[in-house]
């Protein structure tokens, strides 16, 4: 390709071209999309790129776009086409006076690409690193690299989730991740369990203990999408490992939190949303954690 270390700087990012990859460094300026700031830096192997385009942009700019190869990047696989153009990490926006230089790099990069790239059989771009966490509307999601945990909020979680209790899902018991942008209707993050690793999942995410729902100010793209990508990469890496139990009650060590859980459970019982038997059983489980 071009000389080692050649750099093309644009708005919000700079691309460094090497013989076998493109290193993308995102700026941390106040106008830089928060997703870019979260990603920080990404190295994209040439084999993870399916094509390159250069097209006119808005207001005197041109856009260099490296089209990701299907199946190569866990972030783009999790996004599933839901990212706005302004948040696409594969687009570099440049002043129009750099079009000639951008065309040179585009041609150089194209010369290295496969003529008819097929979907990648494995992820080629490193995923966002764990641990990761974010706040959804109905709970807090955490991922330590081995298991995803959901801890429900009393102000947002449905009675179905409160009755099920906090959840922990080992990646070996998962089959994938479904991410629906918080900028869309009914945004959510749902964990897809392996066949036989758990009961049939409810259709509605707000009723599914294997899902957290988003809302205004919750599950923001720059928080929930890298989270989903990290989990998806871990699930793929787990491969054919023997599935672990899909759900394990999360440890609860804060007595005040347990008291709050019992209080909320009592409210559900009074409202008729929890039966006498369910109330007694769940209360006993919570008291046992003290």
For position 50, which CATH number holds? Answer: 2.30.29
Residue 279 lies in a domain: no
Domain, as residue range, for 15: 6-110
Q: How far is 282 from 31, CA to CA, in rounded Å?
A: 48
pTM more than 0.95: no
Alpha helices (runs of H) in 14-98, residue ranges in sequence order? 34-39, 74-79
User: How many domains, in total, are found in the chain?
Assistant: 2
Q: How far is 179 from 230, CA to CA, in rounded Å?
A: 12
Whether residue 105 is found in the same domain as residue 139: no
Whether residue 140 is found in the same domain as residue 68: no
Burial 162-196 (b: 16+ CB within 10 A, else e): bbbbbbbbbbbbbebbbbbbbeeeebbbbbbbbee
Q: Which residue from 5, 1, 10 is spatially nearest to 102, judged by alpha carbons? A: 10
Residue 267 lies in a domain: no
Per-chain mean pLDDT for the chain = 88
Whether residue 179 is found in the same domain as residue 85: no
Low-confidence ranges of the chain (pLDDT < 50): 2-4, 240-253
Residue 254 lies in a domain: no
pLDDT of residue 254: 63
pLDDT of residue 266: 77
Q: How far is 8 from 24, CA to CA, in rounded Å?
A: 10
Q: How far is 65 from 84, CA to CA, in rounded Å?
A: 14
Q: How far is 164 from 76, CA to CA, in rounded Å?
A: 32
222, 245, 268: which is the final residue of a domain?
A: 245
Whether residue 98 is found in the same domain as residue 143: no
Burial 64-99 (b: 16+ CB within 10 A, else e): bbbebbebbbbbbbbbeebbeeebbbbbbbbeeebb
Whether residue 222 is found in the same domain as residue 136: yes
DSSP state of 136: -
pLDDT of residue 185: 87
Residue 46 lies in a domain: yes
pLDDT of residue 2: 47
Give Cα separations from 241 to 59, 195, 232, 236, 244 (angstroms): 51, 14, 15, 10, 9
pLDDT of residue 104: 94
In sequence order, what are the beta bridge partners of 134?
A: 141
Give Cα separations from 77 to 183, 236, 258 (angstroms): 18, 12, 38
Q: Do 131 and 143 form a contact (C-beta atoms < 8 A)?
A: yes
pLDDT of residue 5: 58
Residue 29 lies in a domain: yes
pLDDT of residue 251: 43
Whether residue 180 is found in the same domain as residue 236: yes
Q: How far is 194 from 31, CA to CA, in rounded Å?
A: 41
Q: How far is 143 from 229, CA to CA, in rounded Å?
A: 11
Cis peptide before 131 (omega within 30 of 0): yes
Q: How far is 88 from 25, CA to CA, in rounded Å?
A: 14
Residue 237 lies in a domain: yes
pLDDT of residue 199: 53
C-alpha 230: how far from chain center: 6
């Amino acid at each position: 390709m071009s000389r080692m270390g050649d750099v093309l700087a644009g708005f919000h990012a700079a691309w460094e071209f090497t013989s076998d990859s493109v290193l993308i460094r995102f700026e941390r300026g106040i106008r830089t999309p928060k997703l870019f700031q979260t990603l920080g830096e990404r190295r994209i192997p040439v084999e993870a790129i399916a094509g390159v385009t250069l097209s006119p942009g808005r207001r005197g700019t041109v856009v260099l776009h490296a089209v990701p190869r299907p199946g190569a990047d866990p972030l783009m696989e999790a996004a599933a086409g839901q990212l706005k153009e302004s948040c696409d990490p594969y687009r570099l926006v440049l002043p129009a006076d750099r079009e000639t230089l951008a065309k040179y790099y585009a041609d150089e990069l194209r010369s290295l690409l496969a003529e008819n790239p097929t979907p990648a059989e494995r992820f080629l771009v490193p995923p966002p690193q764990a641990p990761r966490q974010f706040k959804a509307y109905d709970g807090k999601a955490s991922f330590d690299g081995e298991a995803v945990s959901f801890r429900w909020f009393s102000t947002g979680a449905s009675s179905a989730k409160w009755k099920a209790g906090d959840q922990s899902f080992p990646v070996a018991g998962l089959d994938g991740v479904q991410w629906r942008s918080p900028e869309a209707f009914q945004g959510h993050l749902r964990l897809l369990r392996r066949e036989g690793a758990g009961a049939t999942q409810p259709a509605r995410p707000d009723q599914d203990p294997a899902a957290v729902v988003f809302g205004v100010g919750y599950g923001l793209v720059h928080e929930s999408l890298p989270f989903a990508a990290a989990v998806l990469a871990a699930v793929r890496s787990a491969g054919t490992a023997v599935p672990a139990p899909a759900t394990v009650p999360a440890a609860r060590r804060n007595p005040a939190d347990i008291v709050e859980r019992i209080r909320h459970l009592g409210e559900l019982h009074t409202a008729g949303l929890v039966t006498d038997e369910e109330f007694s059983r769940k209360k006993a489980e919570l008291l046992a954690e003290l």
